[in-house]
Structure 1
Amino acid sequence: MACQVQLILAIFAALLAALPFLSLNSFPIRRLLYPTCRCFPGEPCWPSDESWDAFNKTLGGKLIKTVPIGAVCHTNQSFVPYDAAACAELQAHWNEADTHVSSPSSITAPFFADQSCDPFAPPSSPCSIGTYVQYTVRAAGASDYRATIEFAKSNNIRLTIRNSAHDYFGKVTGAGAIAIWTHHLKDINVFDYASKHYTGKAAKVGAGVSMSEISQALKQQGLLAVIGNAPTVGVAGGYTQGAGHGMIASRHGLAADQVLEWEVVTAGGELLTASPSKNQDLYWALSGGGGGTYGIVLSMTVKAHPDEPTATAFLQFNSEGISTDLFYETIATYLHNTLAITDAGVGSIFQLSSAYFAVVPILGLGKTKEKIDELVQPTIDALTSKNIPFSYESTQYNSFHDAYAATTVETPVAFGQLGGRLPPRSDIEFSTTSFTGALRTIAEKGGLISGLSFNVSRMPDVPNSVLPGWRRSTISLVTGLIWNNTDWNANLEAQRIISEEFIPEIDRVSQQAPSSYMNEAAAREPNWKSVFFGDNYPELLRIKKKYDPSGLFWARTAVGSDTWVEGSDKRLCRT
């Protein structure tokens, strides 16, 4: 068989030599030679340097050739000179989001860099582009989207979509890929919006606007939007497209519930508006059905709500000095307490390890300090009656934005691997002891646990593709293990533990089929279609095929992604 393939290729080469009007760079010829895979660097089909230069000119100089930021830590590379001081500086700031957000190619999930140019590896270790994208387009508008789409299609090159690089699945990178970088689309326009379903203030934000940027813009006008707890995350990217939770979700709903319109460029290069009255199927899919697969979002228009006084509270107690049983009994009291807290329109975040339990914070939009104290009182009473030392502090702020700035810190990135679940409310309401027992098992195995509590059971006025599990749940639960910068095998074992021990422990005590926030889940989730999309998957796939029939847009665990697979060299090929 191998000899036959070689013979066929030799015949094609001879034809090309005999017919000068044909070229190996001709798309039909490449599809004959490489029918099932995206073109890969080093292959005859890969564009020449002259082709890349010409493409860059059409973009007005917006094409960026990848230089891995970890290259300064390596002697065995030709990107930049080795610099021990610069390497030490990079290592010191590696877990800060800005390190990766400001880069056109770096990623926040180190596993998907596949040890290429790893800043913590020995200086003499290999350093190549590897799984990083080959080039990035610093997009400034729809014309850059279209030009990049056309170049990728005509050259059969893998295309990926990159915003802020906050991503636990490596969706923003890919071996042999070109990335459209939406991060610099920063326009924010606040205006009066009127439609059949909504009349009021709205904010139209470019695809690259971050949580902190929309917060600052709306603060000046006495407004707010539903945002999450990581200030540098892009609002219109995978966050909103994947549902998007946050501290005021109990009051106003998920981020996807806020969307009034999308501007999106399709795989065919068409700029569409998707709303409840235009291209309704695309609007439905983008509003909760996951990012990076139906089209490339240019902007998003969302509801802007009035700002209000906001109260917060922090609570912590430790396991030291009390029995383990008592420690988890008190945690169970708090978890049950969160039902009343979220039903009152308040959100909260807790953190749990075998050593401590902390609520950081509880946040009530439109609530007074006294109301927050009242809501938390059942947990305070339990701590007091059991003589458990604890710390508690509540604060009143004049606005949500002041509370957000005071209580929100940038989550470290590139430091852990995780898995997640959206346990149904019934697990907390009727099986609190069993549920807490599962958390105890995970914590005693060294797992770190976090949960964002909410109540988003109220359906939005306009249907969207948010995973139904969100409406039944009351906690977005995440559990994980710390990333080991120097032991690759330990990280692989951590992935196994999360997927085969931690998450199954939660599923074991649950009353319903598992669901998970698609942005905060295990990279090895075997049942990702049902766990991330539920019964929406077949319709989402139909819409995917309608707007991207050739499968140009690909991302791990995105709708339709199982029609492609990464090989041992990470090249993308059809299954």
Structure 2
Amino acid sequence: MARVVQRSLAALLFLPLWISAQASTQCRCYPGDSCWPTDNEWTAFNSTLGGNLIKTVPTAYPCYGDRSSNAECLNVKANYNKEGYLRSIPGSMQYFNWEEFDDLRCSLEGAQSANAKCSQGRVPAYAVDVHTVDDIRKALQFATSHNIRLVVKSTGHDYLGRSTAAGALMVWMNNFQGEVQTKEPYTPNGCYASGQSGNPVVIVPAGKVWKDVYDKIEEVYNQTHWIIGGMCPYISAAGGFTLGGGHSILSPVFGLAVDNVLELTVATAEGQHLTANDCQNKDLFWAMRGGGGGTFGVVTSITYKLFAVPYGFWAHSFVIVNENRTGELTAAQLEMAVYNFGSIARSLDSLDWGGYLIYNPKFGASFLLLEPASSAAHTPTSLGEWLRINVLVDEQAKSGFYVQPIGNASFSQHFPSFKAWNAWSRTIGILEDFDSSGYRMTLGTRLIPVSTLSQPWPFAQSMVAGISKNTLDAGFTLIRAAGSGLRDYDRQSLETSVSPAWRQAAWLSILFATWNATTSTTEIAEKEAALNSGLQVWRNAYPDSGVYHNEIGLGEPYWQKASWGTNYERLLSVKRQMDPNEVFLCEKCVGSEGWDLSGLRTCRVR
């Protein structure tokens, strides 16, 4: 029987205030404005939350002034680059440039001077430490009745800073109540038994990270089942990763994270708590499976189907280095490395292998490939070709580069589970950034169409042309995140709102720009411009493709089309239906084109 959804009394009471407060103004209220709530109003609000209102500060704030030797500062120093620690601080972002704005910074490095000042930057004014759905409703009520910008943060792992905004009230989901559950069989709420999932499922509350989910799956199913989730263990398992699509090294076989979502529960801007699946609130269900986080409502849980992997995985890896056996490659050498990856891509695609080519000057061009084993006695059918390719590359040493195993690993090895492979991958240094945060960086992506599988040389040339336009020193990543398994989801009529370009893709390519705490705003702008120039080379080479919404570049010129293609108009319609007064706003999110979100203030575009 379908669950009956009721509006709370609070929702009914605050809705008229919201309409009059937000629909009639050009800018959200900002600290110092006459409309900003008084201290007494904030105190009264805190009382309604049971004391769970937090005045947010930047990560390094405890180290400023005369506090550099206190316990809190020492804790910050010890954990400054640890993702698991940063998620526990409401004002912390996983990438510190999103705590900063131009020269308004509060870095740990800057705290060394006795006279240094810690600026609030982009860090919100307050955060509601959410434990229940009612806490979310109260946060929405307060923000809308006072015309304050609202943001939603799970863990703050976002490359466009969509979890933060200056002068905002944050809905902080880190401590949301509930435990990870598994069920088998499972029928989505409001559906008949005929809609029952043939797979076991896992139900994930919004406060949980992927490590929590992986641990639960291993506890219940040992090594026989898995899920499409994040490589980073401390990002939200019911947040922006999934809502923006969610890719994995296993996506060529099992699709995107959103392809495996069976149900969501959502707190809406109007105070409702809805269940969305194939049987109820279908438009919302479609929109939230790919339409992005922080846009249509606050997710309180996601139900995923699991898939069987009873025989573990075969992993294949090697690294290409230069003539001195060190990692720095020339453009020509890197072009040959990409060409070799492209040359075996047709076989990889037919076998649904996933993988990475990660170029980092510290290590070289590293190749990491993974495929599920089909039986206990499975030996990869393409292993012979794989070794032949290795020999072929090795023979090209005259070109000035060499192929060698990664660390002490063999070219091919078997792992009993994805978790075992993931643990191994962190021992070799190449994926160290997946567990680390506290950088200052931005990035951008392009989905590369499946047609390139038959054109490895033009593909390699276009990739390296874009990399070179940015800078080779910044590195790049080429991901075999798309494959025939992912493309099959369209044929199965499992409709989601991600860009149709995903269903025609063979690769996801990524460029980066990084800097440090003392880099000037001029230098940062130059790095961002170089990054965008590199991405423009890829846009020109593949104009009919798109991007991964969660990793879209700041300078993406036609971001609506790039993120969602022909799905955007329908997404915008759902946005207007679910959030007619634009409570949920974030950079390059559905419906945000009417707002300037680039500065400290949030104002409508005039």
Shorter-chain TM-score range: 0.7 to 0.9
Distance of aligned partners of 1:279 and 1:441 in 2 relative to their CA distance in 1, 3 Å threshold: closer
In the other structure, the counterpart of 1:494 is 527
Change in Cα spacing, 1:355 to 1:95, as seen in structure 2 (3 Å) is closer
**2: CA distance, partners of 1:360 / 1:434:** 17
Going from structure 1 to structure 2, the CA distance change for 1:189 and 1:84 (only over 3 Å counts) comes to closer
1:349-397, Cα deviation, whole Å (9 max, x unpaired): 1112567643352121235564563463353132133245322322212
- 8 Å contact 2:447–2:546 — kept in the other structure? yes
- Structure 1 vs Structure 2 CA RMSD: 2.7
Partner of 2:9: none
2:63 matches 1:70: no
Partners of 1:144 and 1:89 lie apart in 2 by: 29
- Counterpart in the other structure of 2:4: none
- Which TM-score applies when normalising by structure 1? 0.88
Structure 1 position 421, deviation (Å): 0.8
2:593 to 562, 567, 571: 562
Question: Aligned pair in 2 of structure 1 residues 513, 263: CA closer, same or farther (>3 Å)?
Answer: same
The counterpart of 2:153, out of the listed 162, 169, 181, is: 162
Letter in 1 for 2:321: N
Equivalent in 445, 451, 455 of residue 420 of structure 1: 445
Contact kept? 2:450, 2:504, Cα under 8 Å: yes
Q: After TM superposition, list the pairs within 5 Å mapping 1:34-49 onto structure 2.
A: 35-49=25-39
Is residue 454 of structure 2 the alignment partner of residue 451 of structure 1? no
Is the aligned partner of 1:187 residue 2:197? no
Q: Which residue number corresponds to residue 131 of structure 1?
A: 122
The 5 Å alignment of 1:3-14 reads none
Q: 1:316-351, CA deviations, whole angstroms, 9 ceiling, x for partnerless residues?
A: 011335986455324302223133223312210111
**What is the TM-score with the length of structure 2 in the denominator?**
0.83
Q: Is the 8 A contact 1:226 1:249 kept in 2?
A: yes
* Equivalent residue number for residue 349 of structure 2: 342
Distance 1:568 1:182, change over 3 A: closer
Q: Please report how far the alpha carbon of residue 491 of structure 1 lies from its aligned counterpart in structure 2 after TM superposition.
A: 1.6
Q: Does residue 132 of structure 2 align to residue 141 of structure 1?
A: yes
* SS of alignment partner, residue 487 of structure 2: coil
The Cα shift of 1:89 comes to 6.7
1:436 aligns with 2:461: yes
Distance 1:30 1:574, change over 3 A: farther
Aligned AA (1:504):
Q
Q: Secondary structure at the match of 1:503?
A: helix
State the alpha-carbon separation in 1 of the partners of residues 62 and 19 from structure 2: 40
The structural deviation recorded for 1:171 is 0.6
Partner of residue 12, structure 1: none
Closer/same/farther in 2, CA of residues 375 and 134 from structure 1, 3 Å limit: farther
Q: CA deviation at 1:523?
A: 1.7
Counterparts of 1:40-439 in structure 2, within 5 Å, are: 40-75=30-65, 81-83=67-69, 90=76, 93-112=79-98, 113-114=100-101, 115-121=104-110, 123=113, 124-185=115-176, 186-191=178-183, 192-194=185-187, 195-196=194-195, 198-222=197-221, 223-308=225-310, 309-320=312-323, 325=332, 328-353=335-360, 357-359=364-366, 361-366=368-373, 368=378, 370-371=380-381, 373-374=383-384, 376-387=386-397, 389-392=402-405, 393=410, 394-408=412-426, 410-413=434-437, 414-430=439-455, 432-439=457-464
Q: Share of identical aligned residues, percent?
A: 26
The 1:569/1:389 distance shift into structure 2, 3 A limit, reads closer
2:93 counterpart letter in structure 1: I
| C-alpha spacing 1:375/1:572, structure 2 compared with 1 (3 Å) | farther
Kindly indicate whether the alpha-carbon contact (under 8 Å) linking 1:311 and 1:403 is maintained by their aligned counterparts in 2. no
Task: Go from structure 1 to structure 2 and tell me whether the alpha carbon gap of 1:219 and 1:450 turns closer, same or farther (over 3 Å shift).
Answer: same
**Aligned mate of 1:462, from 491, 494, 497:** 494
Query: Match for residue 539 of structure 1?
Result: 570
CA apart distance, 1:426:
1.6
Classify the secondary structure of the residue corresponding to 1:235: coil
Identify if the C-alpha distance between structure 1 residues 135 and 378 changes in structure 2 by more than 3 Å, giving closer, same or farther: farther
1:524 to 545, 552, 555: 555
Once residues 304 and 447 of structure 1 are traced to their aligned partners in structure 2, the CA distance between those partners, rounded to angstroms, is 36
Deviation for aligned residue 1:161 = 0.4
Higher relative contact order (CA 8 A, sep 6+): 2
Q: Please say if residues 466 and 538 of structure 2, whose CA atoms lie closer than 8 Å, have aligned partners that are also in contact.
A: no
Aligned length: 544
Distance 2:28 2:330 in 1: 58
Query: Which amino acid in the other structure matches residue 494 of structure 1?
Result: K
**Contact persistence 2:21–2:144 (CA under 8 A):** no
Residue aligned with 2:344, SS:
helix
More divergent stretch after superposition (45-54 vs 254-263): 45-54
Counterparts in 2 of 1:57 and 1:360: CA distance versus 1, 3 Å:
farther
- Write the letter of the residue equivalent to 2:541: V
Q: Residues 209 and 31 (structure 1 numbering): CA distance in 2 closer, same or farther, change over 3 Å? A: closer
Structure 2: 5+ residue stretches without partners: 1-15, 188-193, 427-431
Tell me which residue corresponds to 1:22: none
126 and 301 in structure 1: CA distance in 2 versus 1, 3 angstrom threshold: same
Cα distance between partner residues in 1 of 2:579 and 2:212: 31
CA distance in 1, matches of 2:315, 2:302: 29
Look up the SS of the partner of 2:199 in the other structure. Answer: strand
**Structure 2 residue identity aligned to 1:502:** G
Q: Quick check: 296-305 or 389-398, which moved more?
A: 389-398
Shift of 1:155: 1.2
What is the rounded CA distance, in whole Å, between the counterparts of 2:161 and 2:203 in structure 1? 28
Contact 2:466 2:535 in 1 (8 A): no
Show the counterpart of 2:3.
none
Among 583, 586, 589, the alignment partner of 1:552 is 583
Aligned in 2, Cα 1:391/1:435: closer, same or farther, shift over 3 Å?
closer
Q: Which amino acid aligns with 1:193?
A: Y
1:37 maps to a residue whose letter is: C
Maintained 8 Å contact 2:18/2:147? no
Stretch of structure 1 that moved more, 50-59 or 132-141: 50-59
Pairing 1:473–2:505 present: yes
Distance in 1 (alpha carbons) for counterparts of 2:466 and 2:231:
27
Partner of 2:220: helix, strand, or coil?
Answer: coil
Task: Report Cα offsets for 1:211-247 as digits up to 9, x if no partner.
Answer: 2211110112222111121111112211111110001
